[in-house]
Structure 1
């Protein structure tokens, strides 16, 4: 069945293929199956009969040769006035029923682009149902098509497909997610009638082209893939739109954040690292040193929090999206804030497989708005689904796992991930395959400070959590060497405190929705801005699939403006939020900042004194 919602956006899209359709005239020869008039069809006048015949010939001329040559697909066509509202067509066995108003529009306007596009799409849609349900088709039952379409195999359902399709953004027609059969019919419309389909949905275009061993004429596609970065202010220039050329991606690595004591983080976190070569560098091993250009694909629950509610995570109340983040930000987040090590393990993928994986990642980035569930739709499951759909060779590798460390073991066992790069550890750190937790660095710094003074804490966590007023006396009497170590630790304590207090504020304002003040309003605006960057389809009001060049100018302006707004809101929240903290929280924050100022001043004084002593010694030696 074909349902057509009435929308201005669809009406505008109907114009896109009119000129091309005008070129498709004349009867199709060698057709083994026929489209006849169904018995009992209300009679058509001469003008309507001519329009119907011409429309049928045009559509048949656009079908793939293998489809036209297939046997047993005879169709009886009827133009009807009694279809339900918004239903443009139905396929019942060998009968195709189309809305009579579509034909009347073609007859009245000749080969008007809009009328012809609507009628052609309806006819292709119902013929696609006929083809798909025949022995020649079966596309909607193909596991590969269902993976690409958004009905993957959940890891805990014994191979059964998900009922809900979460690829809900940037769709050519919302009706496509009603069922796999409707998905096939909608997408065959665009495969045959829209030259930009190859650019907007490259993986699906490749699937249909392979099935039919044929493809219609296609538009020239851009060589890069568009992504919107979730943290644009972290990169030079603050540009949110990343236009990624797959040829510049030298390697893809499984980026594994090691677990910690938090319940939601015990089994680690799964991500993919893109080793992107700097502009001007030829792709090769040296691209590993271009860390500022590397990006991370990370499936996360959109909460804008360090820790999330266990109950909401279990029940799927958080949105799950594919974030694109700078590598240096991810390293800082895990190693210095959460004190977790990062393993970056190369995946054995060919350049062609890297390209198809990136195409899939871009499609998911623009279309997917799922629900995070701690057990069966977490970061490991999402990463596995991305690898499975993006690299067909991996489909039979038995990679399904519900834990990030389990997925890593399966990748290594299958020979896809090369864990040998982690040994020996010092070389792994030097070559950028391992980023150690800062707790080791902090422990070494604390040991330096402890050797100079008998500090009241033997481990880093205890020292960082100590009341800042209790740390102050030890900072005030530090020497040059232990003072430098304590300054780094005090910065870590300040950042750790800020993260915790920000989390407290967010939980407080979410639980007390009625409590409205300036900081609460800023928080809500901040979350809305973050939502826009994490779900980039919201930045464009038309089009489907990957944004094309005509859309990117608008996209670039919208994304950059939202990125700047996000940073401004964060700055405002930092100021406004302090006033909403408890008196003790405000005191601890102020005391930590006072410690930083005091220790910084002392180190500068010690440096000047040391410099003066050196100058005196030089003058005496002269």
Structure 2
């Protein structure tokens, strides 16, 4: 058998089996092996201390391009040779060599070493997983840090067990990486070694491999300094495509929506707040004033069937996605609509940890497609995993919590959450560390109104439950101050009524028991629900590349997101126009009466102001 050993520049030596190959095929083989040796990190070549036989074979399964054997050989599918596919042959060879490097036990044909210190072409040191003289380095695919980044995080409540399913399925460079941690390492090592954009598309993993290879990395492209994201809270006047610059993020807060009586919300909701500085402002405490720039990272169950089912939430029937939303929208959503207060607690992270959380959030926004469980993988669990992976804080590595309030408590106990900002409630409100529920404001408005006007309800909830015509009976006795308070309560009553109507209509449509007009509007409602899906899966709007979208993909992303937004706006407008015909006569009359109440109160306030000014 004819063997060709390439000149060794390090300990690793490829030995090609050239028997039966013509001159062109031998040259092809030599080129692939030489290029692979040049591409491999010096540390890998040093650790694979010995010959690595490489041969072309015909008996690999269909779809398999290469295989690393237990005795240290690399087998390559002969079809790559016959097709002269040099790029795929090189990628396959590097993939299989990384498998050899990663494996726990030393193949008999190879000599492995993991000295406490070695020097290879000027690089000093070994991966942190090496332990000492004569000890085989631990596999990269077993490294907890790699598993966190790759998408096999710890399963909460199991003290170290890993998730069996990798949910970072979107915008993967090769779906084969999801088969196992070992395949993830091999696939991503290919891209680390061969794709100059890998550092831009998967920056955290690029940093990980660079550290594992003793600070060595191949040449990389120049990366953009900002990350694109879809603003799921954008209105018709705002662009769906937003930009997140880690250098403008001053701080990360743990944002807790306090519990209410609803079954799915009784433990609160965990989110993260990014304190983003206004353009041109120097990063510092004054950035807390730039509330209009702040963003919220919120894992939510994307519910395209509108109605939350307790059972579906328990068995993971809902997709879990990471939404990036304006803080102002989140505050309005919880304080005005759900009548829940928010606590915004600063986390004690350094600059590198803040940047890491921002980077991980951007990565998950484009790649994560998990399953939402009320117990086991809820918002608190997802938020903890984001914090742990993004910050790489030692204080988070063995942290375990399954409830939003519990997570805040353990973050405080570990010294990561500064809850002292909440000690003075009024100061916390003024400084933006707390956002009070409008239920509290409404009750504060209602109490003096009840005493002054003798309103026929014990509390604000009872007042809002009255019919619009019944509430109107008490307007005549209100002075200017009382009229203004009644106007705010009337606006709250109308918002609540509209939300109840929308939920009931959608539920009737889905159950197929709505009025005839609802069934005629079925296609419109179904399209609206379907079109909303892209807001939770931004990856659907990018057809090229993998990982974080790069500048070459931004123009297409902007055009497609704008087109989708316009379509969504059109569908929503059509449904709004159709809404009156979907309501029973009594419900239409009640909405009309509520609108009339608002107009009457506004007119009354104008008259009272004119009278008080003497005009």
User: Do both share a fold (TM > 0.5)?
Assistant: yes
| Aligned match of 1:479 | 479
For 2:474, what is the secondary structure of its paired residue? helix
| Aligned match of 2:43 | 66
**1:147-170 CA distances to partner (integer Å, 9 max, x unpaired)?**
111111111334211111110100
Following the alignment from structure 2 to structure 1, what is the Cα–Cα distance between the partners of residues 305 and 405?
A: 23
CA 1:350–1:83 in structure 2 vs 1: closer, same or farther (change >3 Å)?
A: same
**1:252-273 CA distances to partner (integer Å, 9 max, x unpaired)?**
1000000011111111100000
Alpha-carbon deviation of 1:399?
2.6
Contact 2:254 2:270 in 1 (8 A): yes
For 1:475, what is the secondary structure of its paired residue? coil
Following the alignment from structure 1 to structure 2, what is the Cα–Cα distance between the partners of residues 511 and 159?
A: 43
| Aligned match of 2:498 | 498
| Aligned match of 2:167 | 166
Following the alignment from structure 1 to structure 2, what is the Cα–Cα distance between the partners of residues 335 and 569?
A: 28
State which of 535, 541, 544 in structure 1 corresponds to 2:543.
Answer: 541
Structure 1 unaligned regions, length at least 5: 1-25, 107-114, 616-622
The reply to whether residue 131 of structure 1 matches residue 101 of structure 2 is: yes
The reply to whether residue 31 of structure 1 matches residue 10 of structure 2 is: yes
| Aligned match of 1:312 | 312
**1:75-114 CA distances to partner (integer Å, 9 max, x unpaired)?**
22121223222211112211221111212233xxxxxxxx
Superposed, which structure 2 residues align to 1:602-621 within 5 Å? 602-611=604-613, 614-615=614-615
| Aligned match of 1:84 | 61
For 1:250, what is the secondary structure of its paired residue? strand
Alpha-carbon deviation of 1:500?
1.5
Following the alignment from structure 1 to structure 2, what is the Cα–Cα distance between the partners of residues 127 and 180?
A: 16
For 2:428, what is the secondary structure of its paired residue? helix
| Aligned match of 2:89 | 119
For 1:579, what is the secondary structure of its paired residue? helix
The structure with more helix, counted as a fraction of residues: 1
Alpha-carbon deviation of 1:177?
0.2
Following the alignment from structure 1 to structure 2, what is the Cα–Cα distance between the partners of residues 577 and 88?
A: 57
Alpha-carbon deviation of 1:526?
2.2
Contact 1:533 1:563 in 2 (8 A): no
Superposed, which structure 2 residues align to 1:491-570 within 5 Å? 491-512=491-512, 517-570=519-572
Contact 1:98 1:122 in 2 (8 A): yes
Following the alignment from structure 2 to structure 1, what is the Cα–Cα distance between the partners of residues 46 and 346?
A: 46
CA 1:30–1:152 in structure 2 vs 1: closer, same or farther (change >3 Å)?
A: same
558-567 vs 162-171, which moves further: 558-567
TM-score under structure 2 normalisation?
A: 0.90
Alpha-carbon deviation of 1:133?
0.5
Following the alignment from structure 2 to structure 1, what is the Cα–Cα distance between the partners of residues 307 and 281?
A: 39
Alpha-carbon deviation of 1:518?
4.9
Contact 1:35 1:75 in 2 (8 A): yes
The reply to whether residue 204 of structure 1 matches residue 205 of structure 2 is: yes
Contact 1:230 1:530 in 2 (8 A): no
CA-based RMSD of the aligned residues comes to 2.0
| Aligned match of 2:442 | 442
Structure 2 unaligned regions, length at least 5: 105-135
Aligned residues: 576
| Aligned match of 1:47 | 24
The reply to whether residue 146 of structure 1 matches residue 125 of structure 2 is: no
Contact 1:199 1:546 in 2 (8 A): yes
Alpha-carbon deviation of 1:338?
0.7
| Aligned match of 2:352 | 352
Alpha-carbon deviation of 1:73?
5.7
Contact 1:387 1:394 in 2 (8 A): no
Contact 1:476 1:598 in 2 (8 A): no
508-517 vs 394-403, which moves further: 508-517
Contact 2:199 2:221 in 1 (8 A): yes
CA 1:512–1:205 in structure 2 vs 1: closer, same or farther (change >3 Å)?
A: same
Superposed, which structure 2 residues align to 1:228-307 within 5 Å? 228-233=230-235, 237-303=237-303
Contact 2:6 2:14 in 1 (8 A): no
Following the alignment from structure 1 to structure 2, what is the Cα–Cα distance between the partners of residues 144 and 417?
A: 23
Alpha-carbon deviation of 1:307?
6.2
| Aligned match of 1:618 | none
Contact 2:395 2:414 in 1 (8 A): no
475-484 vs 341-350, which moves further: 475-484
| Aligned match of 1:586 | 588
Following the alignment from structure 2 to structure 1, what is the Cα–Cα distance between the partners of residues 138 and 217?
A: 16
The reply to whether residue 216 of structure 1 matches residue 194 of structure 2 is: no
Alpha-carbon deviation of 1:120?
0.9
